[in-house]
Structure formats: structure tokens, C-alpha cells
Amino acid sequence: MTSLKIRPIELADVPALLTIIANARSEYRIAERGVDLLEPADHALFANYQRQRSLYFVALVDDEIVGGAGVAPLAGADPLTCELQRMYLRPVARGRGVGDALLERCLAAAKQFLYVRCYLETITQMQAALEFYGRHGFRDLQAPFGRTGHAHNDRWMMRPLRASAAIDVGYARA
């Protein structure tokens, strides 16, 4: 990897991102959970992140899109909680710091939007992702939070975005 760039999504990025998302979901056999590889929200990827307190970032290596991730308000939750959404990388970009850079930008944006905690959902089969999120301060929850509409997800995690939020979500201070 020679040149990594993280920037906000552009409309022209959507086809490449949809391919990355569909391929990753296929890799982890999401369709076996009764879910389409691409959801309606995926097709509205650009528009959804033009909303208030929402932002989606695209990772490029040598000017080629290799992944993306975004933050947005968590549906059905208080206004202080955001959701990390649609964090997917091409296999070639995994384990090379691209995910770290994307997550860092997402969490920085979340703090600028004055969120105090960040929630995410995933599936047990994504063990590398679970370990990645754990290394970045996300902790397992016993049940889903908010209303994402993703009944197929079986893992839920949360992380404070400031020290006082650690108490709000029941974490000990690190």
C-alpha cells in the first residue's frame, strides 16, 4: 500500500462501494440469514449521508476505492448516540491500517457532531471485525440498542466517545 486517502463520499463512488458491500456480505454468507446482499439503504448511500449529523467516508489506495464507513444518528435512540454503519473493506485492504484510518475519521466526525457514544451491529462470523472493534474500545452488549431493523445481526457493541460517556453506557473508565 503506497498512498492512503480518506475523504467524504461522492456520488460517483456509490457503484464501487455497492460492489464492495455486496462482495463482503457474500463472503460472510449474509444471504443465508434471509437478507438481500444489498438493502434499500445501500442504494441510497450517498443521499443518506447528506443528512444532518451523518457522514460517510471512502478509503482510497492509489486512487482506487477499497472501502468505506459512516456514522449517522442511531434510529430509535437518544440524540447522543450514533451508529457506525456500512464499514466494509476489500480483502486486499484488510489488516493494512485502512480500517483504523476509516474508523478514526468516523469517530472524529461523531465527536464533532457531539455524539457521546457510538453503537454498531455485526455478525458472529465476522470474527476479525469483532476483534478489530474490541481493540478500538467497543464492548459487547447483551441486546440490540435502538431500531436498526437488522434482525439478522447477532452482535451488538458500543463505545464511549468521551470519558463521561463511559459511565453513561456502563463501562469502567480505562
> If you average pLDDT over residues 145-173, what whole number do you get?
70
pLDDT at 78 over 50: yes
How many C-beta neighbours within 10 Å does residue 56 have? 26
pLDDT at 165 over 60: no
**Higher local confidence (pLDDT), 173 or 69:** 69
14-18, 26-30, 101-105: range with lowest mean pLDDT: 26-30
Q: Tell me which H or E stretch contains 58.
A: strand 55-61
Contact assessment for residue 154 and residue 123, using Cβ atoms and an 8 Å cutoff: yes
pLDDT averaged over the chain? 88
pLDDT at residue 32, as a whole number = 65
In this predicted model, what pLDDT tens digit does every residue of 91-126 receive, in sequence order?
999 999 999 999 999 999 999 999 999 999 998 888
Cα–Cα nearest to 103, from 121, 87, 117? 87
User: Percent of the chain at pLDDT above 70?
Assistant: 87
Q: Please tell me the CATH superfamily of domain 4-168, with its number.
A: Gcn5-related N-acetyltransferase (GNAT) (3.40.630.30)
Phi (first) and psi of residue 48, to 5 degrees: -60, -30
Please give the grid coordinates belonging to residue 23. Answer: 462482495
pLDDT at residue 147, as a whole number = 82
Residues 6+ apart with CB under 8 A from 16: 65
pLDDT at 150 over 80: no
Break the chain into its structural domains and give their ranges: 4-168
